[in-house]
Structure 1
Amino acid sequence: MTRPIGIADLADLVVPSAPALSPDGTQVAYVARRHDLETDLTSTSIRITSTSGATATRALTHGTKDDAPAWSPDGTMLAFTRDGQLWLLPSAGGDAVQVTDLPLGAGVPVWSPDSTQIAFVAPVDAAAADGEDDAARARRATAPIVAETIGYQFDGLGFVRDVRMQLHVADVGDHTVRQVTRLAENVLSAAWSPDGQTLAFAAKAAGGSEFDYAAAVHLVPALGGEPRIVAFQHGYAGTVAFAGERLVVVGHAGQMRGHARLYAVDPHTGAATELAADLDRNVMPGAPAYPGALPAATGAGEVLFAVRDRGCTHLYAVPPAGGPSRLVLGRDGQVISGLSVTGSLAVTVCSTPTSFGEVALVDVTTGAATILTDHGTALAGREIVERVPREFAISDGSRVQGWLMRAAWANGATPLLLDIHGGPHNAWNGAADEVHLYHHELVAAGWTVLVLNPRGSDGYGEAFFDALHGGWGTADAQDFLEPIDQLVADGLVDPGKLAVTGYSYGGFMTCYLTATDKRFAAAVPGGIVSDLTSLAGTSDLAHLLSTLEVGAVPWSDRDALAAMSPYTFVDQVQTPTLVLHGADDVRCPIGQAQQWHYALRQRGVPTRLVLYPGASHIFPVAGLPSHRIDYGRRLIDWVTRHIAGTAPTVTHPQSSA
């Protein structure tokens, strides 16, 4: 018998990531992520499969925190991280060997061209004394935190004190590790020159303003020395890699606003050329909840890269000197993440409307893709409800893409859940995702779920992407309300049974809509922003949000911030509201949730505040399995209890053998 997939099925999901293609193109190592509900941990291990399909996928490592596999260029070894340290595994077989034992761990391994060294970025505490023991480290951890600059905290890390990310190199033969950079700023990424003599990396220029979101391209001798800036002195280089003799950079040539773009940089002159100027799309290097891939060179000399296209992430190729870009892999409802290239072959992870992700082998020349894994078989007997695309015309002449989830057996007007994405520059798409399993349970209970990509969403051109600057809430409210009106007019949705939810920016909009519109009978904002004035000095990215997103600061733009802040209108809220928030969130600090809950409580509006201990802003994506499951269950319970005539669970009338 089939049944709808649900929140508890998180335990059966195995989601691949970080695929690495062997230098001979015959094998793929990748990370398999699964969630253990008994231990309440998310485990990651490395698996391997052949590109020919001749052998079955098998476990290559048996750790629970194994990540970031990287083949040596000569194919003899696989580097990876285990419990935050660098390890090596012989490809011919044998035991894994630990390479690093750094106090704060090591980052993603990057092999030198001759396979003798591995570069990586790792956190370094500049205040730590040589040979510092655990007791001394514990004493310093409780010492007062003294901050003169604004970069003293970061979501997921908390107070960073004197810790900065620095470039290191490990010797594969004797496992010695040398620290290559000793900068006052964080090193973001690293790459080896083809001759193995030089390392390129991105970091803020020495002496740069703390109020500029900048990262220049630096070069430094691999044996150590003084780094020198070669490009992006006044821009933002987010990632750096070599493609032949040229550097490939994802970032912004100037202010970090609007689309990230793809550049080729001459390491000798610093001249930068935009490679995919014909694409009005955001280049996606990849991050939690933001699927993408680091650019990579093919054997034919092209550069492969990922862009966001109408909510999805697709793979493109471009000549190394610039020119017309071409689509390699991507269609509606298809999302790629991760990339590794050998010659004319590439591997990536591909998700679709009925798959949470499988490893795919791609012929770069033809775009033909072959699925190499079958992790979806673990969900046999579970039905994944597909998102059905629909476009909505907005009264100002713009158009908004959305998707509906609705049971095939549903008739007439149903309750509706509007779910709003974060960012604000994230985007929904038609692919299945593991974060929103509660959608499927609501659909099984007879609900319609609506997701929309309003202005500000990624994948529709830079003008659409930037349309929210200075207009949070005020510019995009109708992008949500008018599609609901259209669904009501179509007879698909009951106007008396409307619920709204969203996370991060979606939490902001949930608060804003319930403060300025009375139609919603239940609301569940998560990871919220309620007051843009207080956010300006408390978020870890406060200045970026104020200048590049909101476009206003409290001491000079009070009225503008008040017009955009839900807290200004909290006295108008009547909607029963469940607030869900990570207790250690410093991206949207906990006070944003507390003040919203407090105001509703004081006014007598039904409300509840749920705080998740130890959880950062990204906990719905990467937090404890118990927190993620609890989040979904509380959301379902709240909206169904506050919308008359609905129930948390309903047996699917179309279940079949």
Structure 2
Amino acid sequence: MTLRALENGERGKNSRGIRNHDYPLAEVPDIADSQVWKQVEEFFTKVHAPSFGHLSNAEDLAVSPDGTRLAFTGHIWSSLKDGPKTHVYIVDLPTGSSKSADPVPVAASHGPHNNKKPKWSPDGKTLVFLSDRIRAGQYQLFYLRSDRIGEAQPLISEPLQGIIEDFSWSHDGSAILIGLAAFGLPKSGFEGSGTLVDLDVSRSQWTPVVKTDHTAMDVRSLWLHDLQSHQTRRISLPGRNIWRFAWCGPQDAVAIVSDRPGEGAYKESSLVKISLLDCVEHVMVERGEYFMAQPTASPSGSKVAFVESVGGDRTKLAGCIVCVDSKTNKQTRIASNVDIASLEWFNEETLFSMGLRDLTSVALKVNVLTHEVRELWSTGNACGPSYPQPAGLPGGGFAVVRQGWELQPEIGLVSEGGAYTRILSFEDDGGRWLRPQLGQSHAVSWSSTDGLEIQGLLYLPPKGQKPYPLILNVHGGPMSAFVDQWMGYRTWVAFLVAQGYAVLNANPRGSLGRGRNFTQGVVGDVGGGDATDLLKGLDYLVSSGVADASRLGVIGGSYGGFQSAWLTTLTNRFAAAIPISPVSDWNLQWLSSDLRQRTLDNRPYDIESLYFRRSPLRYVHRCKTPTLQLVGKVDQCTPPAQAHYYHTALLDHGVKSCIVEYPKEGHGIRQFPALIDACCRMVSWFDHFMPVDK
């Protein structure tokens, strides 16, 4: 039975006996005992239940120095309600003539909480990772000796007062750099927004929240732990916020730093070298027009490389390679046709990197002296949770987590010669059940009004006939990109396709993978050329007979939420819209968000600026599209008030509108059972206004 039939069957009354002939189930407050809920819950149970108690995905790959073992963060589900936990696993890698298929990974960590980001000591005898086993959410360092039997132990006897976000071994294994975040700092949008855990249980419920400028302690700081003396000391200066860091020779660290800890301050960062002896900073690269990411120094520390990006979430940046001489600070940009997302030094002269070119993941070897760029391997699949995150092998080659629309995540090895070998698959009965319902995927492209080629991924339902009801899905960012991922990046993409909808994951100008000029095309023109790119994609699919012009929908989160609202003020072609975590007014976004984006014209207080002229709220009178907004109450990237303002304005102008706010969600709806509820409302909304069974 289809969801349409289920909804029609209960349209006489909702779960509380209220008549609801005239509105979709999406508008009912409590739908947990509806037939639609049961079918959506059954869908996700069939997908995920076979992996309960088993590994279902991996990230944070770390190859041992001798190349014989791979440590990684593994995802383990126990139930839909609890979601996946993370634990550290180790798997033996094939060596020489050994070709053992799918070796058995061994758990290196246990317990009720989470463990992640394993990293080997230079001698390969110690594995250190992050764990919140002492107190949920408060990650600290734990270590495990590979030559001893037993459970991991705390690396530092007294937990640091904060949350350890990252760490780095020195080249000789004598010390570890530690990145410590103060309690209560904001998380990035890609991490779900909201704040890091706050452990102040002494605060009374009536105690007010006070906002002012930050204090010297409310930052991300850099610490040094000496493994011989067991002493831990702060390296960064008070008030300086350390975003990213790495060793730079034995006596220095290199770091991306700013004077403020807020998410919007990331672009204000400089690249500095910090003396580990006296904590003095030396600026290597002043703050500039672009973002810096992935700082890493050559083994001797004589050169520092980083990624220079037009913009995006600070945890999800890609762009060109910049190499800096540590003594002279001379900068050299190394051109390639790939937007680089990861960097790793192979030796003093050579970088191993990986990034995006169009819809393809590409691995490169880059000589920083000759600027020679050699392509090692490429695939149309994703090689990480979003952008490529490989782990280099000693002597050449690398490991990746590969996934695609029809490929459940798997760990594979790529040899120096470019041969790919799967070593560990996470395929299960849930994936085998889902795959026949996903239909076909196609890489598509079309020309925008100015002739610029735009790309995307088109997912077609397995049943039904052309033209299909089609949903345009817009990614966040805007500096981001859709790549070929299992279930279409967000699980609700696969869910909607399984219900009979075609979905277009589009990459308009501003997306990554097409070079700096393409990404730069959205700066100062948000809602301009990018909106045209998206609408031309619909024109192309309608004219080619794929999409039904009378059954077009739009959905997206964050920047995609903005576009889902903005496009309906430009055209009345959409039958339904679902903005998720949207921006409805850029001026209010500037005043209330922790991002403070500068992708417009940087005149937020000027009523004639793009902050006003590219806001859906200003042109709400032109919208005729039924709009369902889904928001998280603790979202600090696009605060839920944005959606509330737009909802009221839509109602004032006689437009069908509904807003659903989830009390424990942040930037996007990510956790069960909220995700089940959101999918019920999504399919109910689309099915009511643009049904599959027309």
> Please, what TM-score do these two structures have when normalized by structure 2?
0.80
CA offset at residue 280 of structure 1? 4.2
Whole-angstrom distance in 2 between the partners of 1:140 and 1:247? 51
* Equivalent of 2:368 in 295, 306, 320: 320
Structure 1: which amino acid aligns with 2:371?
G
Greater shift in the superposed pair: 295-304 or 255-264? 255-264
Q: Are residue 72 (structure 1) and residue 130 (structure 2) matched? A: no
Contact 1:311–1:458 (CA<8 Å) still a contact in 2?
no
Whole-angstrom distance in 1 between the partners of 2:691 and 2:545? 18
Q: Are residue 19 (structure 1) and residue 67 (structure 2) matched? A: no
Describe the SS at the equivalent of 1:338.
coil
User: Which residue of structure 2 lines up, in the alignment, with residue 653 of structure 1?
Assistant: none
Contact 2:312–2:477 (CA<8 Å) still a contact in 1?
no
User: Which residue of structure 2 lines up, in the alignment, with residue 583 of structure 1?
Assistant: 633
- Quick one: structure 1 residues 225 and 462, their matched pair in 2 at CA, closer, same or farther if it must change by over 3 Å? closer
Structure 2: which amino acid aligns with 1:454?
P
- Quick one: structure 1 residues 242 and 6, their matched pair in 2 at CA, closer, same or farther if it must change by over 3 Å? farther
Structure 2: which amino acid aligns with 1:369?
Y
* Equivalent of 2:418 in 367, 373, 384: 367
Number of equivalenced pairs: 608
Whole-angstrom distance in 2 between the partners of 1:399 and 1:359? 33
Whole-angstrom distance in 2 between the partners of 1:380 and 1:242? 44
Greater shift in the superposed pair: 170-179 or 448-457? 170-179
Contact 1:280–1:462 (CA<8 Å) still a contact in 2?
no
**CA displacement 1:492-539 (0-9 Å, x = unmatched):** 222221111111111111101112211111111101011112112111
Describe the SS at the equivalent of 1:118.
strand
CA offset at residue 639 of structure 1? 0.7
Whole-angstrom distance in 1 between the partners of 2:440 and 2:298? 39
* Equivalent of 1:474 in 510, 518, 528: 528
Greater shift in the superposed pair: 388-397 or 135-144? 135-144
Q: Are residue 85 (structure 1) and residue 85 (structure 2) matched? A: no
**CA displacement 1:287-310 (0-9 Å, x = unmatched):** xxxxxx3x1122585201222211
* Equivalent of 2:332 in 268, 273, 279: 273
* Equivalent of 1:350 in 391, 402, 420: 402
- Quick one: structure 1 residues 530 and 376, their matched pair in 2 at CA, closer, same or farther if it must change by over 3 Å? same
Structure 1: which amino acid aligns with 2:522?
L
User: Which residue of structure 1 lines up, in the alignment, with residue 581 of structure 2?
Assistant: 527
Structure 1: which amino acid aligns with 2:304?
V
- Quick one: structure 1 residues 231 and 561, their matched pair in 2 at CA, closer, same or farther if it must change by over 3 Å? closer
User: Which residue of structure 2 lines up, in the alignment, with residue 628 of structure 1?
Assistant: 675
User: Which residue of structure 1 lines up, in the alignment, with residue 538 of structure 2?
Assistant: 484
**CA displacement 1:565-617 (0-9 Å, x = unmatched):** 11111122221111001111111111111111111223332221111223222
- Quick one: structure 1 residues 320 and 518, their matched pair in 2 at CA, closer, same or farther if it must change by over 3 Å? same
Q: CA RMSD in A?
A: 3.2
User: Which residue of structure 2 lines up, in the alignment, with residue 120 of structure 1?
Assistant: 178
Whole-angstrom distance in 1 between the partners of 2:201 and 2:672? 34
CA offset at residue 177 of structure 1? 1.9
What is the correspondence of 1:108-147 to structure 2 with a 5 Å cutoff?
Answer: 108-124=166-182, 138=203, 142=207, 144-147=209-212
* Equivalent of 1:503 in 557, 572, 576: 557
User: Which residue of structure 1 lines up, in the alignment, with residue 447 of structure 2?
Assistant: 393
Q: Are residue 60 (structure 1) and residue 111 (structure 2) matched? A: no
* Equivalent of 1:29 in 62, 71, 74: 71
Whole-angstrom distance in 1 between the partners of 2:206 and 2:166? 26
- Quick one: structure 1 residues 470 and 611, their matched pair in 2 at CA, closer, same or farther if it must change by over 3 Å? same
Whole-angstrom distance in 1 between the partners of 2:550 and 2:258? 52
> Please, what TM-score do these two structures have when normalized by structure 1?
0.85
* Equivalent of 2:163 in 89, 105, 111: 105
Contact 1:581–1:593 (CA<8 Å) still a contact in 2?
yes
CA offset at residue 409 of structure 1? 4.2
- Quick one: structure 1 residues 315 and 533, their matched pair in 2 at CA, closer, same or farther if it must change by over 3 Å? same
Q: Are residue 164 (structure 1) and residue 211 (structure 2) matched? A: no
Whole-angstrom distance in 2 between the partners of 1:460 and 1:98? 44
Greater shift in the superposed pair: 109-118 or 47-56? 47-56
Structure 1: which amino acid aligns with 2:108?
L
User: Which residue of structure 2 lines up, in the alignment, with residue 339 of structure 1?
Assistant: 390
- Quick one: structure 1 residues 400 and 591, their matched pair in 2 at CA, closer, same or farther if it must change by over 3 Å? same
User: Which residue of structure 1 lines up, in the alignment, with residue 346 of structure 2?
Assistant: 298
Contact 2:308–2:320 (CA<8 Å) still a contact in 1?
yes
* Equivalent of 1:191 in 239, 246, 252: 246
- Quick one: structure 1 residues 328 and 105, their matched pair in 2 at CA, closer, same or farther if it must change by over 3 Å? same
User: Which residue of structure 1 lines up, in the alignment, with residue 513 of structure 2?
Assistant: 459
User: Which residue of structure 2 lines up, in the alignment, with residue 94 of structure 1?
Assistant: 150
Contact 1:334–1:353 (CA<8 Å) still a contact in 2?
no
What is the correspondence of 1:192-271 to structure 2 with a 5 Å cutoff?
Answer: 192-194=247-249, 196-204=250-258, 213-232=267-286, 234=288, 236-245=291-300, 246-252=302-308, 260-271=319-330
Structure 1: which amino acid aligns with 2:233?
R
Structure 2: which amino acid aligns with 1:282?
D
**CA displacement 1:155-204 (0-9 Å, x = unmatched):** xxxxx99410111122334643221223312112222234x222222213
Whole-angstrom distance in 2 between the partners of 1:74 and 1:572? 65
Contact 1:308–1:458 (CA<8 Å) still a contact in 2?
yes
- Quick one: structure 1 residues 182 and 124, their matched pair in 2 at CA, closer, same or farther if it must change by over 3 Å? farther
CA offset at residue 75 of structure 1? 0.7
**CA displacement 1:414-465 (0-9 Å, x = unmatched):** 2111111111121122332464333333333332212211111111122221
Whole-angstrom distance in 2 between the partners of 1:97 and 1:455? 49
CA offset at residue 256 of structure 1? 9.9
- Quick one: structure 1 residues 344 and 78, their matched pair in 2 at CA, closer, same or farther if it must change by over 3 Å? same
Structure 1: which amino acid aligns with 2:398?
A
Whole-angstrom distance in 2 between the partners of 1:404 and 1:302? 38
- Quick one: structure 1 residues 501 and 38, their matched pair in 2 at CA, closer, same or farther if it must change by over 3 Å? closer
Whole-angstrom distance in 1 between the partners of 2:655 and 2:583? 19
Structure 2: which amino acid aligns with 1:298?
F
Contact 1:390–1:404 (CA<8 Å) still a contact in 2?
yes
Contact 2:403–2:484 (CA<8 Å) still a contact in 1?
no
Structure 2: which amino acid aligns with 1:352?
G
Whole-angstrom distance in 2 between the partners of 1:330 and 1:296? 17
Greater shift in the superposed pair: 485-494 or 248-257? 248-257
Whole-angstrom distance in 2 between the partners of 1:410 and 1:459? 33
Describe the SS at the equivalent of 1:69.
strand
Describe the SS at the equivalent of 1:519.
coil
Contact 2:376–2:417 (CA<8 Å) still a contact in 1?
yes
Contact 1:527–1:588 (CA<8 Å) still a contact in 2?
yes
**CA displacement 1:462-488 (0-9 Å, x = unmatched):** 222111222222222222222222322
Structure 2: which amino acid aligns with 1:589?
P
Work out the percentage of aligned pairs sharing the same amino acid: 24
**CA displacement 1:388-414 (0-9 Å, x = unmatched):** 111112332122112221135432322
